[in-house]
């Protein structure tokens, strides 16, 4: 594995989000109510969660507070066309991030001021892991981009326990010593392959 992966946080977020949006475009009919690896969440719930995250990101990257960004959220983040809602939410978040240099500003998160680069990495990880969740729920190829997997695993490993203590992720799933990097990365986020 090339350890010189381009880890530009916005590029990482953009690419992970694009993979997620592509999967959403393939959801139809009864698949919307299929269960996912996220306990109690259907495919629709999972997609709504990620789209809402991107809608939050639009406001937060633009420099709004949590209250200001939250006030802009629609009651139903998916609306009449979930695929279009997913595409539009990502495009809006990326446009807001592009309007300001993420290397030189912070965003307002629930746990305090956070470098915008760090927030972009969080978004990338969320999209990457939830793309796997969605692919599994839909019964389609769940292979993730190996470079994105490597970048997210490398970023996440030093802070994994902090996220777990905060209740954001479940317990790490045990994996064999010879497990591939995608399996190991997903296990850090509590996913059993």
Domains of the chain: 9-143 (1.20.120.450)
Residue 61 has pLDDT above 70, yes or no: yes
* pLDDT of res. 95: 94
pLDDT (tens digit, 9 = 90+) per residue, 40-49? 999 999 999 9
* Cα 1-170-114 angle, rounded to 5 deg: 75
Report the half-sphere exposure of 87 (CA within 13 A, side-chain side).
Answer: 9
* pLDDT of res. 118: 93
* Cα 136-138-142 angle, rounded to 5 deg: 40
* pLDDT of res. 103: 78
Residue for token pair 């991107």 = 54
Q: Give percent of the chain with pLDDT exceeding 70.
A: 97
pLDDT (tens digit, 9 = 90+) per residue, 85-142? 999 999 999 999 988 877 788 898 887 889 999 999 999 999 999 999 999 999 999 9
CA distance 105 to 108: 10
Alpha-carbon 108 to chain mean position: 18
**What does the pLDDT average to over 48-58?**
97
Closest CA to 83 of 134, 132, 28, 135: 28
* pLDDT of res. 1: 32
* pLDDT of res. 102: 78
* 187 DSSP 8-state letter: H
Question: Is residue 148 within 8 Å of 124, Cβ to Cβ?
Answer: yes
């Amino acid at each position: 594995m090339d350890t010189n992966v381009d880890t530009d946080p916005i590029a990482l977020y953009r690419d992970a989000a694009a993979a997620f949006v592509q999967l959403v475009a393939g959801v139809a009919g009864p698949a919307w109510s299929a269960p996912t690896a996220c306990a109690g969440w259907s495919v629709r719930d999972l997609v709504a969660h990620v789209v809402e995250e991107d809608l939050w990101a639009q406001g937060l990257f633009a420099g709004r507070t949590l209250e200001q960004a939250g006030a802009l959220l629609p009651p139903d983040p998916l609306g009449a066309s979930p695929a279009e809602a997913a595409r539009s939410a990502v495009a809006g978040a990326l446009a807001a991030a592009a309007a300001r240099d993420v290397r030189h500003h912070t965003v307002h998160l629930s746990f305090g001021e956070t470098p915008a680069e760090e927030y972009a990495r969080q978004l990338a990880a969320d999209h990457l892991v939830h793309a796997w969740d969605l692919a599994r729920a839909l019964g389609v190829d769940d292979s993730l981009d190996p470079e994105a997997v490597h970048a997210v695993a490398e970023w996440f490993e030093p802070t994994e326990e902090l996220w777990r203590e905060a209740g954001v992720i479940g317990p790490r799933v045990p994996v064999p010593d010879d497990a591939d990097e995608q399996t190991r990365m997903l296990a850090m986020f509590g996913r059993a392959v």
